[in-house]
Structure 1
């Protein structure tokens, strides 16, 4: 446990719906958010990434969660859009998007465009995504447009 958090056992949830409800709740405490980030349910990770109360350090933990191409792409988009995602989180999302555009058959275009709208990252940190093998012409156009809107 980090300093300042009580050394208590994590909450016990009986059903997947209990996990989901806690992940959605803006009143959930940080300790529970961290517990939920380690849950086996990708829909819980996505609820955490959609909850505006989720702190950056929990978002950071979510960056390493993997399930399926569709779920992972949605999670990356939600992380890129999250108001509490700091530069560290966004750089982790960027690294994951780079890896996917280099090697995967999945195309996380929505996450790329969401990341391009974030001013915490410089345009030159994002432009190279357009040159990666998995980048489609439509993604390249959208990336250029989003980066151009920032100027």
Structure 2
């Protein structure tokens, strides 16, 4: 008997609960050398491949299969977003691996040494707020031009 892994494929609508279940399944000793693939029926090409300690997002197309990243690195909605943009890029003849690489660089992948896990969006919003506060402080400290003193007693 050969030691080739057995593939178990299923098409279903992936949910956050199923993705969490995939992580649990990947850590189960009973999985052994089996490979479980769940294809998302709601998103063309998005596949969740579960092997021992490795639940991985894949984009499957007729011409190629692209390994994206570990399921724990990006959420289901982000994986769907990437899959939809790859489909659009394919229709325009783009290099799909480059498209995936660029889109993953803008996702919420964990950054080494970062404990809080803030997202790129949160950092951008924080920078905008800091800029606005700095502008406000600068405006508060500007000298009042001569003749521009308000007489509040007349009101």
Whether TM-score is above 0.5 comes out as: no
**Which interval holds the TM-score relative to the shorter structure?**
under 0.3
More helix by share: 1
More strand by share: 2
Q: Which has the larger radius of gyration?
A: 2
TM-score (norm 2): 0.27
TM-score (norm 1): 0.28
